Amino acid sequence: MDFAVAVILFMAGLAVSLLNGVAIIVPLALGFLYFACCARARGHSWSDVGRMAALGMKKTVVVIQIFILIGLLTAVWRASGTIPFLVWYGIKLIDPRFFVLCAFVLTCVVSYALGSVFGAAGTIGVVLMVLARSGGADATVTAGAVISGCFFGDRCAPTSSSANLVANLTGTRLYDNIRNMFRTASVPMALSLLIYLYFSLRQPMRGGGADIQLEIASAFNLSPITAIPALIIFALPLAGVGVKAAMVLSILSGAAIALWAQSVPFLTLAQAMLMGYDLGLDGRFARIIAGGGAISMANLMGIILVSSSYSGIFDGAGLLNGVKRFLERLSQRVSIYSTTLVTGTVANMLVCNQSLAVILTNQLMGEIYESHGASRSLLAVHIEDTAILITGLIPWSTAAAVPFAMLSADVGAIPLAVFLWLVPLNRLLSLPMSEIRE
């Protein structure tokens, strides 16, 4: 099979799946068959193709382990009262005069704790949208602020699946990448705060979230000890503790708090860690807080495994050599960051999936960075500043479509997710980051 034909078939499958609500793993699996046939047509045996795919998947074993830990952690944080604690006190601290600004900051905090766009949007994001609509704040602006905050944590949290994926693919240290990401986000973050302050002053919120606070307080023990699992994730990395170790300790502490402080039965907790947490009550927050669990990561793990098999086939069969040569020539005319931005944007537009776009961007740009004498750390932060964020600006991307659906917001909020486009814009306008070293 010709590679161009395989790409067209693959893109058509993605489009059909998106339009008909079919799980993206289906066109990804078909794509594997298309690209495997391409490799076979270039003279490689089926056993060779299998070894190529296995080699690609082997690179993501560590990421899969972390994904499982993230699934366990998100369920435990619900059961232990950690997320309700953050939401309750977050609402308490919200100043109606600065609601949009508070919404952005609060979502940044929760998304950094969870490391997930979907997790932050489905918990604090939904609560904030309810408050905005009931309190007369601009729901579209609020949705933009929430999406910005969601991607803040998805980009740079130690618990972020995408941050761990980038570190694994580029062979860099996660915490080094996080420090670099905070540096490249400093100016965009300051500008985002000013923009959301302007919108807050322009249209303050009139009401509060007393009903949601009451529901949370009646269902959970909000003792300060429920914040311990989140503090572990925040503090241990500063002491040099590895991300997996920090997650395990956070899970263990959260499980102990759920059993003791929240009186969750052991078997109920075990089921929640596997299948997802369910408060078992009626109410708006009870519906919002449900979720998490190892099984919630199954679809993402499947996507990562199939997508990573592509990289093995592409490398082994040389299917992307022509594209790499074009990007190499482009990088000689413009900066390697600009070339990465184009690559990450087009990849996200075509594959509609953040993880696959990251894998493709790394595969297409990795050798180019080496030819320019640029470090792998620079490649990692450039991917974080392009492919990771741009996906939230593409309406048909799953990383944008799902959170917007959770928030019941329309695509008109996309331009108001200012952090997502300020980061790449700031990088384009700034000098090359020659100060970033391995």
Tokens of 332: 């000689």
Tokens of 134: 């009931």
Number of domains the chain is built from: 1
Q: What is the DSSP letter of 432?
A: P
Asked whether residue 115 is assigned to any structural domain, the reply reads yes
Asked whether residue 151 is assigned to any structural domain, the reply reads yes
In the numeric block, the tokens 């953050």 are attached to 86
For the chain, the residue count is 438
Asked whether residue 293 is assigned to any structural domain, the reply reads no
Check: CB of residue 175 under 8 Å from CB of residue 235: no
Res 67: pLDDT? 78
Check: CB of residue 157 under 8 Å from CB of residue 113: yes
Asked whether residue 133 is assigned to any structural domain, the reply reads yes
Domain residue limits at 147: 62-274
Asked whether residue 188 is assigned to any structural domain, the reply reads yes
| DSSP codes joined into one string, 332-401 | HHS-HHHHHHHHHHHHHHHH--HHHHHHHHHHHHHHHHHHTT--HHHHHHHHHTTHHHHGGG-TTSHHHH
Q: Quick check: pTM over 0.95?
A: no
Number of Cβ within 10 Å of residue 359's Cβ equals 29
Asked whether residue 436 is assigned to any structural domain, the reply reads no
Check: CB of residue 214 under 8 Å from CB of residue 92: no
End-to-end CA distance of the chain: 41
Check: CB of residue 132 under 8 Å from CB of residue 119: no
Maximum Cα interatomic distance, the chain, rounded to a whole number of Å: 68
Q: What is the DSSP letter of 436?
A: -
| DSSP codes joined into one string, 301-342 | HHHHHHHHHHHHHHHHHTTTHHHHHHHHHHHHHS-HHHHHHH
Taking the C-alpha atoms of residue 332 and residue 329, their distance in angstroms, rounded to an integer, is 5
Asked whether residue 47 is assigned to any structural domain, the reply reads no
Res 60: pLDDT? 77
Q: What stretches of 61-209 show up as alpha helix (H) in DSSP? A: 61-80, 82-93, 99-114, 117-120, 126-135, 139-156, 161-170, 174-202
Res 406: pLDDT? 72
Check: CB of residue 398 under 8 Å from CB of residue 352: yes
pLDDT of the chain, 438 residues: tens digit per residue: 788 888 889 888 888 887 787 877 888 889 899 999 999 998 899 999 999 999 888 877 777 887 788 789 888 988 999 888 888 887 788 888 899 999 999 999 888 887 888 878 877 887 888 788 767 788 899 999 999 999 999 999 888 888 998 998 899 999 899 999 999 999 999 999 999 999 999 888 876 667 778 888 888 999 999 999 988 887 886 677 777 888 899 999 999 999 999 999 999 999 999 999 988 877 777 877 788 888 888 877 887 788 788 888 988 888 888 899 999 999 888 889 999 999 999 988 877 788 888 989 999 999 999 998 999 999 999 999 999 999 999 887 878 877 887 787 887 889 999 999 999 999 888 855 443 433
Asked whether residue 207 is assigned to any structural domain, the reply reads yes
